[in-house]
């Protein structure tokens, strides 16, 4: 009976061992190091906007009246005190705009005709009838005068656009002589014209002197805080931190303004939560060119493991003495150390698993990501030496190395080509961009406990040109 019991125990043990993973070393326990993830540097995006002013001219030309007359023209009179009355017509020529530096000059040539008469008054009471009407600009042709305003717009830190208008001195091109003795009343006409222009200036500054840009900036800020689906690449969260804008610079028919944004963008496989914030006050502007973007790609280990497993599943690796393994599954993970851990499950001459460790590194010259110093973890190594020495074979390491090296050169060049196509295009009629993505590189890889984070950097130039747009006030 003892012999039967012993035989049954032997058979049971054999069945139990045959149906279980025989080779199962302990999980790696990598030593603590000074490894830590550096904070993501702020990305800088600076976009000069060049606005063609000709559509603005066209809008203003249609919006501003061309004919002005005194009240109740042609029968009514404007009476300036007891002793003077007059009436006039004033016709403006085409508007002329010229930009120079921070100023935009709006001017036109005016054509006017005036009729006036006088009488004698004492203490505000008339003691004589009106003289016969004296006319200017009729028989000798309309009198001409050049009129202009100098305007400047400044953007305040609180996002208020402030319009300053300076009325320039009217420049008479013709004298205005009235009555048969040829009295020159040009100065009087210019004085009246300046009063009218000053009233127009006050009205313009009242209506357009201050414009709150914050609602527009908040709309832009909200768009930047949204999460964008990159379709196949994950989700992009821009995470803006600062916004800046310089004051306008005008030259001839063009107006240039530079907009800058600071941000900390992240790409992740899982859709992050959107966080909407209030747009901050405008940051101090300094002349900066182009864009310099630092981007963290947050990669999920499960997704990475699936990719590697797809490449290696059922891969047979022949070893010494007729032994072999067939890779069934690969799992990647980190433990807040410089090294990445690869857990390999296998079948074949035996069944079980082992762990490899290595440091993920980017080769700038060859544009490749590879796991350097790939080797059996020390616990797997000790276990295999004692229980399955045939598995402790560098042929496994050499074979797996082929699948832990990723050539990104083609991908980077393709990404640059695609990006440059997107940077150089007409977005909508009248608005186009031009630029160049100069360089794309990976600068750090962080195998954290929950995610593998790959930090990249790209830089280049981008500008936007606005040739036509719908203008309204």
Structure tokens at 466: 């606005």
Instruction: Identify the domain containing residue 287 by its residue range.
Output: 24-54+213-473
Radius of gyration of the chain (CA): 40
What is the per-residue pLDDT across 326-365, written as a single tens digit (0 to 9) for each? Answer: 999 999 999 888 999 999 999 999 999 999 999 999 988 8
Interval 173-215: pLDDT, tens:
998 887 756 777 788 788 888 888 888 888 878 777 788 888 8
Contact 187, 203 (CB under 8 A): no
Specify if 35 maps to a domain.
yes
Tell whether 9 is covered by a domain.
no
Nearest to 293 by CA among 409, 198, 435: 435
Last residue of a domain, one of 212, 228, 251: 212
- Give Cα separations from 434 to 179, 187, 426 (angstroms): 64, 53, 9
**DSSP letters along 363-408, please?**
ETTTTEEEEEEEEE-HHHHHHHHHH-GGG--HHHHHHHHTTSEEE-
CA distance 82 to 122: 9
Domain count, the chain: 2
Query: In b/e form, how buried is each residue of 392-415, taking b as 16+ CB within 10 angstroms?
Result: bbeebeebbbebbeeebeeebeee
Please say which residue of 185, 212, 239 terminates a domain.
212
DSSP string for 141-208: --EEEEEEEEEEEEE-TTSEEEEEEEEPPPEESS--EETTTTEE-HHHHHHHHHHHHHHHHHHHHHHH
Claim to verify: residue 223 and residue 350 sit in the same structural domain:
yes
Please check whether residues 134 and 187 belong to one and the same domain: yes
- Computed over every residue of the chain, the mean pLDDT equals 84
CA-CA-CA-CA torsion for 424, 427, 431, 432, nearest 10 degrees? 0
Domain shared by 266 and 193, yes or no: no
Residues 231-283 have pLDDT tens digits of 666 788 889 999 988 877 888 778 888 888 999 999 887 888 888 899 999 88
For residues 175 and 322, membership in a common domain is answered with no
Both 291 and 314 in a single domain? yes
Q: Each residue of 150-184: pLDDT tens digit?
A: 888 888 888 888 888 888 999 999 988 877 567 77
Angstrom distance (rounded) from CA 150 to CA 107 = 9
Indicate whether 137 and 228 sit together in one domain: no
The closest of 231, 286, 297 to 262, measured between CA atoms, is: 286
Q: How far apart are CA 356 and CA 339, in angstroms?
A: 10
What is the rounded average pLDDT of the residues 1-8? Answer: 41
Q: Which residues pair with 257 in a beta bridge?
A: 49
Measure the CA–CA gap between 256 and 247, rounded to whole angstroms: 9
* DSSP secondary structure letters along 193-225: HHHHHHHHHHHHHHHHSEEE-HHHHHHHHHHHT
Residue 12, in any domain of the structure:
no
* Shared domain check, 442 and 333: yes
Residue 206 Ramachandran class (φ > 0 left, ψ -120 to 50 alpha, else beta) = alpha
Report whether pLDDT(378) > 60: yes
- The yes-or-no verdict on residue 121 having pLDDT over 50 is yes
CB 252 within 8 A of CB 99: yes
5 in a structural domain: no
What the block records as the tokens of 331 is 């799992």
Residues 153 and 284 grouped into a single domain: no
d(CA 218, CA 211): 14
Question: CB–CB of 206/198 below 8 Å?
Answer: no
How far is Cα of residue 24 from the mean position of the Cα atoms in its chain? 52
Residue 400 lies in a domain: yes
Looking at 192, 212, 232, the residue that finishes a domain is: 212
- Is 422 a domain residue? yes
pLDDT at 109 over 90: yes
Residue 171 sits in the same domain as residue 191: yes
Rounded Cα gap, residues 321 and 326, in angstroms: 16
- State whether 278 and 141 are in the same domain: no
Do the domain assignments include residue 59?
no
Q: What one-character-per-residue DSSP string does 211-266 give?
A: EE-HHHHHHHHHHHTSEEE-SSS-EEE--EEEEEEPPPEEEETEEEEEEEEEE--E
Residue 333 lies inside a defined structural domain of this protein: yes
Cα separation values, 180 from 70, 133, 175, 186, Å: 24, 11, 15, 16
Query: Are residues 222 and 345 both part of a single domain?
Result: yes
Q: Are residues 48 and 103 in the same domain?
A: no
pTM: 0.71
Strand runs labelled E in 13-123: 43-52, 67-69, 78-79, 84-92, 96-101, 103-118, 121-122
């Amino acid at each position: 009976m003892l012999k039967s019991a012993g035989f049954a125990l032997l058979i049971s043990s054999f069945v139990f061992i045959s149906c279980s993973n025989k080779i199962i070393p302990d999980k790696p326990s990598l030593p603590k190091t000074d490894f830590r993830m550096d904070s993501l540097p702020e990305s800088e995006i600076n976009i000069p906007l060049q606005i063609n002013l000709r559509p603005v001219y066209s809008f203003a030309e249609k919006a501003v009246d061309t004919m002005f007359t005194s009240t109740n023209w042609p029968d009514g009179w404007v009476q300036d005190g007891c002793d003077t009355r007059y009436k006039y017509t004033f016709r403006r020529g085409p508007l002329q705009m010229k930009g120079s530096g921070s100023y935009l000059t709006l001017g036109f040539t005016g054509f006017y005709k005036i009729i006036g008469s006088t009488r004698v008054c004492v203490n505000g009471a008339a003691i004589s009838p009106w003289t016969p009407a004296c006319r200017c600009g009729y028989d000798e042709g309309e009198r001409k005068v050049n009129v202009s305003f100098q305007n400047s717009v400044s953007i305040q830190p609180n996002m208020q656009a402030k319009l300053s208008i300076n009325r320039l001195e009217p420049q008479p091109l013709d004298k205005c002589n009235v009555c048969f003795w040829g009295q020159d009343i040009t100065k009087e006409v210019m004085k009246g014209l300046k009063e009218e222009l000053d009233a127009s200036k006050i009205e313009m500054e009242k209506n357009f002197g201050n414009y709150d840009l914050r609602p527009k900036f908040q709309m832009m800020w909200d768009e930047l805080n949204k999460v964008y689906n990159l379709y196949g690449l994950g989700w992009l969260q821009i995470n803006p931190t600062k916004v800046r804008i310089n004051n306008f610079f005008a030259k001839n028919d063009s107006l240039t303004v530079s907009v800058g944004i600071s941000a900390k963008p992240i790409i992740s496989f899982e859709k992050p939560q959107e966080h909407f914030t209030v747009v901050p006050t405008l940051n101090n502007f300094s002349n900066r060119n182009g864009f310099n973007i630092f981007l963290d790609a947050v990669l999920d280990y499960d997704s990475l493991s699936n990719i590697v497993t797809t490449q290696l599943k059922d891969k047979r690796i022949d070893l010494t003495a007729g032994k072999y393994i067939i890779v069934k599954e690969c799992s990647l993970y980190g433990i807040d150390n410089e090294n990445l851990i690869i857990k390999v499950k296998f079948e074949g001459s035996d069944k079980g698993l082992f762990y490899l460790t290595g440091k993920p590194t980017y080769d700038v010259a060859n544009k490749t990501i590879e796991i350097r110093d790939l080797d059996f973890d020390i616990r797997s190594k000790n276990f295999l030496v004692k229980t399955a020495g045939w598995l402790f074979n560098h042929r496994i390491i050499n074979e797996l190395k082929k699948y832990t090296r990723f050539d990104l050169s083609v991908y980077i060049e393709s990404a640059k080509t695609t990006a440059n196509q997107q940077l150089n295009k007409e977005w909508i009629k009248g608005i186009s961009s031009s630029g160049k993505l100069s360089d794309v590189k990976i600068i750090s890889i962080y195998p954290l406990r929950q995610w593998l984070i790959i930090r990249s950097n790209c830089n280049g130039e981008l500008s936007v040109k606005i040739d036509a747009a719908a203008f309204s006030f």
